[in-house]
Structure formats: structure tokens, C-alpha cells
Chain A
Amino acid sequence: GENVEQHPSTLSVQEGDSAVIKCTYSDSASNYFPWYKQELGKGPQLIIDIRSNVGEKKDQRIAVTLNKTAKHFSLHITETQPEDSAVYFCAASRMDSSYKLIFGSGTRLLVRP
């Protein structure tokens, strides 16, 4: 079945530096790739997504890139701030009638002030 691998599992950066989280997926039919941010004790929040017909998408300090050939996609956070500290999950979907998401295992990001 579909599998999504996410790296690294933990990431510590200095405030102001950039952070990059990478995911790979196995199902070549996947065509939708969202990213979620989960703060402690809360539900995951959708922060950005990308579809397979686009190679890159940016929203202020957050960007996502997709390489369909290599089945890789990445989250880039620039000018990190302490409030960016959270667990980030990537996911992939075929966007069939179930709209099920296959999630990565998560990355715990710590931004040091």
C-alpha cells in the first residue's frame, strides 16, 4: 500500500534560520500533498498544500516543492520564529472518492530563541 516517509524526525534550528522537512511517497497515483502543523494538545492544522500539476507553492515564510519524478516533496520555512515550534506532518492522497490521506510520521521542530 501507499507509504509516506518523513525526515528528519526532529529538527532544531536557531531563530531566523531556515528549516526544511522532506517526504517521499510510494504511490505514483498520489496527486495531492498537504502539510500540517500540530501544536501540543491540539488538532493538526493545514498550513499549505500542493497539487501534482504544480512544482512549487509559497505562502509568506512557508513554501512547498514537489518533484513528481522522484516522488519527493518538501516543506521550507524561512526566517523561523519560536512560534514555528511544533510537530509537522506531511501527507499524500490520490484524491479518490474517499479523499484519504496517508501521513508521514512527523517532524518535531524546535526553534531556539
Chain B
Amino acid sequence: SQTIHQWPATLVQPVGSPLSLECTVEGTSNPNLYWYRQAAGRGLQLLFYSVGIGQISSEVPQNLSASRPQDRQFILSSKKLLLSDSGFYLCAFSLGEGGQYFGPGTRLLVL
């Protein structure tokens, strides 16, 4: 069966510092991968998705970027964090013809 991992689980970073969140999927190949952000008590905002290695689609203009250096690895980055980047970041994968499956999330607090 497939599993999805995210780390770190929580992160506290100062404004202006860089960010790197990692997501990996096990037990499958060539999944679609997604990054979402969820503000406290709010819905899910799709940030980026990838249909293959090196292929990134951005859904909203922002301070973040994404990369997919390997088939089952998806990275969310920022060069300089803003206060507004705080939130709960979720990675998900899809095998097609079915739903998306979410990781445990990373809670980011920018101070």
C-alpha cells in the first residue's frame, strides 16, 4: 500500500528566513503530487501540483515555490518567509481515477 510522509511536523521560523518542507510518497510510482495550505479554521488552498518530475504548476502567485527532483519527492520552498506564510501545509498524492491522499501536514509558524 501507499504511504505519504511529511516533515517536519512543526516548524517555527523568523520572518525573512528560508523554508524547505519535504514530502515523499512510498509504494507507488509516477503519482500526481500536490501542496496545499490551510489557514486556521479555514479550507484548503491548492498552491502547486506536479504531474511528473520537474513539472510544476502554480495555482496562486505567492512567496513560495515548489520542486520535484525525484518521482516521489515534492519540496515546498521559500527564500524569505513572510508572516502571512504561517499555516498548515499539506502534501497529497493521486494515482489517477480516484481521490487524493493527504499526508499528516506541517504546521508552520512565522514570527
The residues of A with any CB-CB pair to B shorter than 8 Å are 32, 34, 36, 41-46, 49, 89, 91, 95, 97-101, 103-106
Contact A98 B51 (CB under 8 A): yes
Beta-carbon nearest neighbor of B4 in chain A? A43
Q: Kindly list chain A residues whose C-beta atoms are within 8 Å of the C-beta of B97.
A: 95
Contact B43 A43 (CB under 8 A): no
Q: From DSSP, what is the main secondary structure of chain A's interface residues?
A: loop
Stretch in contact with the other chain, from B12-20, B64-72, B78-86, B101-109? B101-109
Which of A95, A97, A98, A106: most chain B Cβ within 10 A? A98
Contact B100 A99 (CB under 8 A): yes
Docked pose: A41 CA to B9 CA in angstroms: 10
B32 at the interface (CB under 8 A from A): yes
Please provide the chain B residues from 53 to 111 with a CB less than 8 Å away from any CB of chain A in the complex: 57, 90, 92, 94, 96-105, 107
B35 at the interface (CB under 8 A from A): no
Which of A36, A98, A99, A105: most chain B Cβ within 10 A? A99
B107 nearest CB across to chain A (Å): 8
Known: A42-B105, A43-B104. A106 touches B43 (CB 8 A): yes
A70 nearest CB across to chain B (Å): 23
Contact B104 A99 (CB under 8 A): no
Contact B44 A103 (CB under 8 A): yes
Beta-carbon nearest neighbor of B93 in chain A? A99
A97 nearest CB across to chain B (Å): 6
Known: A34-B99, A45-B102, A89-B44. A97 touches B51 (CB 8 A): yes
Docked pose: A43 CA to B102 CA in angstroms: 6
Contact B99 A49 (CB under 8 A): yes
